[in-house]
Structure 1
Amino acid sequence: MRRNFLPILGLLSLFVLGSCSADRDPKIASLKHAVEVADSQLLDAAAELDTTNCFPRSLMPKFRAVDAKDWTSGFFPGSLWQCYRFTGDEKLLAEARKYTDRLEGIQYYKGTHDLGFMVFCSFGQQMETLHDQHSEEVIVEAAKSLISRCDPRIGLIRSWDFGEWNYPVIIDNMMNLEMLFWASKHTGDPVYRDVAVRHADITMKNHFRDDASSFHVVSYNDDGTVESRGTFQGYSDSSAWARGQAWGLYGYTMCYRETGDEKYLKHAERIADFIMRHPNTPADRIPYWDYNAPNIPDAPRDASAAAVISSALFELSTLVPEGEGKKYFDYAETLLMNLSSDAYLAGKGTNGGFILMHSVGHLPADSEIDTPLNYADYYYLEAIGRYLSLRGLDPRRI
């Protein structure tokens, strides 16, 4: 979710055009505008739910608000914290505190695998901003709740408690492991890290095809053998759901950062290669909702997948051997700049207060299609932060 990129600024000369000053760089100007839009939009969305205990999630097409137990509840407060660090806007700070407070108590909830999204993207961002002990305590409790969903016979954190699967695990769950790595480092207890590593290893073994594309859902029998492989949100059991590819790329990049285990780096590079070389990738590189969608080029795009991919590739560009990062940086930069164009970036006062347009939540269920999504905004802001850090730029001075 987060990484301080400033220590690797010595790598910048390998892949950044340093000759153009920031104040004359059209890319930086574009991101400056995007941050201004984000500040305005986030405050609009916050005001929409000022007197409730809910969180903005999407437009369907009307404004969709959710409660704390929704898997997306942590993204909006996390976006507020990120944008506050970009701008110093005290109004954003007040809203970030308020919306994070609405998640108080969710750290004890054991009915979901998405506590990483819910807690580490909210209290984790608060911790990074305020360095407060309370956020640390909340995150540790959330990590305890999350590992309670791991059956030691199977070695994986169970994803869903619904459906006809025996023990479903979705590729999205790779994103929730970062909180476990943090908890082990913070407490000195290896149990969280051990669960994360075993989950990542078994997922790498069973979730991926030979071309590094991913199944969405793999279900396990009680003895740990695979019951089934398929999809829930993608086009078909054999297709490559775009956001699933993004989750995998981000997750294994993070696992390498946290462990230094080369197998995770190599796997992340294989996933990146699948994404960057796929023949169905459109010219602007914002992927269709599924790489095998039947109605390409008329299939909906998924800006949320693009935002996650961009953020992940910026980090991956810093982790590969010297000289190999440029291709990842360049691809991530192209995604970020296209997301920052009028084609995807909302105008102030529009789009229900969300920042990006044109994402897809769950197309097979006819849910959240070609709409803004709060997690698209979150990872878009994270990608901006990583990009500016790699450029050696302070967001408040661009």
Structure 2
Amino acid sequence: MKKQIIMVLCSVLGICTIQGQSRDLKLSKVFIQQNLSDAAQQIKVLANEIPKEKFPKTFENNKQVFSSSSWWCSGFYPGTLWYLYEGTQDHELLQKVEEKLPYLEKEKYNKGTHDLGFMLFCSFGNGLRLTGDSVKYKDVLVTGAASLSSRFNETTNTIRSWDHKPWHYPVIIDNMMNLELLTQVSKMTGNNRYYDLAVAHAETTLKNHFRKDYSSYHVIDYDVNTGKVIEKKTHQGAFDESAWSRGQGWALYGYTMMYRETKKKEFLNQARHIAKYILNHPNLPQDLIPYWDFDKDKIEPSSNMYAKKDLRDVSAAALYASALLELAQYTAGKESMLYLTKAETILTNLSKAPYKAEYGKNGGYLLKHSVGAIPLNSEIDVPLTYADYYYVEALIRYKRLLEGSAIIQEIAK
């Protein structure tokens, strides 16, 4: 009873407890709830534009861009609907997500992609967590985990990312994000193989993907016969040795999550080192919304018309905010407070101009000014569905802090 009273007081006073210490929360319940409500109304604008069998990618040149279910981003829109339903209890959003999921379900059989975590865990995973309907959602996740694990190679000790040339056996840092599907399904089913594969992939990535300063390469290409590294490259960053901003976000989020899932200290330490790299970088703007690459100023201007432009990547910032909120739970003292404060700053800035879209504009997307892949001249300074997802996830995580509840609510049952 005493503990319950304390939790209620913490919620009312805006105080959270991290690692046994009380911390002032700077963002109010009104602020968080207003932004969730705004997002719920805005996403309905987007929902009215989407063909029933399609999924949103971006809004570019005043035109909607949609994908099929097989595109790696297909799970983010349903996942955002789930989070907004959780945050607002707006049943119209529940109806919209339940109407969309049947068009995504077949991807549980897709063995040609490593992105099943993005596609299925963000969507069906949140559905299982919020409804407890294992009949409707659990099989999708279990089958999807089996499909994802089929891409694991015992020689490289990694899950293959892409199947296309010119790569031999490429693994991208983004793939850390798909491991949560495996660890959670391992808990649900008792199949330890999924957990073991996730840990092996994370350990191999830790060994090969990072520089001495803890910045991450984007792509590591392996020799499938020996498991040795052939090349360390980029596909979406400024150049091979640069620190692509969203890639650092995938790494930060991925190792924070893998510490939660395994309690392995090496994963926690890696997340802390990555956070330090990001937050202490001299090229991180004061508002903490990063440029698309931390090393963009080192590019030859003639190499790309966008190379040196001060383009921000809001999708990276949203990732940082969500990951830092979780990392604050696993650290203590000034370090924990630093992560919390930086996440609050990012959320504050994303929730206003120039990053937050006005109602009815921006194609119905919540945030503006993200970057997909400048080297490919793709999705430059546009809204992106995954930027919206991680922004709303961060709002929900903060809302849980305000309510005195666990910041992470697992789906494993």
TM-score interval (norm. to shorter): over 0.9
Question: What number of residue pairs does the alignment pair up?
Answer: 382
Q: Which secondary structure does the structure 1 equivalent of 2:389 belong to?
A: helix
Q: Which secondary structure does the structure 2 equivalent of 1:274 belong to?
A: helix
Q: Which moved more, 1:268-277 or 1:39-48?
A: 39-48
Rounded Cα–Cα distance in structure 2 between residues aligned with 1:26 and 1:297 = 34
C-alpha deviation, 1:272, in angstroms:
0.1
1:362 aligns with 2:373: yes
Which one-letter code corresponds to 1:17 in the other structure?
Answer: D
1:142 aligns with 2:144: yes
C-alpha deviation, 1:37, in angstroms:
1.8
Rounded Cα–Cα distance in structure 1 between residues aligned with 2:243 and 2:344 = 23
**Superimposed CA distance per residue, residues 360-398 of structure 1 (whole angstroms, 9 cap, x where no aligned partner):** 01111111111100000000000001112112279xxxx
**What are structure 1's unaligned runs of at least 5 residues?**
1-5, 19-24
Change beyond 3 A, Cα 1:12–1:196: closer
> After superposition, where does 1:134-283 map in structure 2 within 5 Å?
134-222=136-224, 223-283=226-286
Rounded Cα–Cα distance in structure 2 between residues aligned with 1:280 and 1:322 = 26
List structure 1 runs of 4+ shifted beyond 6 angstroms.
none
**Superimposed CA distance per residue, residues 162-218 of structure 1 (whole angstroms, 9 cap, x where no aligned partner):** 121110000000000000000111111110001000000000000000000000000
1:351 aligns with 2:351: no
User: Who is 2:56 aligned against?
Assistant: 56
1:319 aligns with 2:330: yes
Which one-letter code corresponds to 1:234 in the other structure?
Answer: G
Change beyond 3 A, Cα 1:244–1:351: same
TM value normalised by structure 2: 0.89
Q: Is the 8 A contact 1:123 1:138 kept in 2?
A: yes
> After superposition, where does 1:78-89 map in structure 2 within 5 Å?
78-89=79-90
Q: Which moved more, 1:143-152 or 1:127-136?
A: 127-136
Rounded Cα–Cα distance in structure 2 between residues aligned with 1:26 and 1:327 = 15
**Superimposed CA distance per residue, residues 22-45 of structure 1 (whole angstroms, 9 cap, x where no aligned partner):** xxx875443333212211121111
Which one-letter code corresponds to 2:141 in the other structure?
Answer: I
Q: RMSD between aligned alpha carbons?
A: 1.9
1:11 aligns with 2:18: yes
Which one-letter code corresponds to 1:225 in the other structure?
Answer: K
**What are structure 2's unaligned runs of at least 5 residues?**
1-6, 302-306, 406-413
Rounded Cα–Cα distance in structure 1 between residues aligned with 2:227 and 2:337 = 40
Which one-letter code corresponds to 1:16 in the other structure?
Answer: R
Rounded Cα–Cα distance in structure 1 between residues aligned with 2:34 and 2:17 = 28
C-alpha deviation, 1:246, in angstroms:
0.2
Which one-letter code corresponds to 1:186 in the other structure?
Answer: M
Change beyond 3 A, Cα 1:111–1:148: same
Which one-letter code corresponds to 1:120 in the other structure?
Answer: F
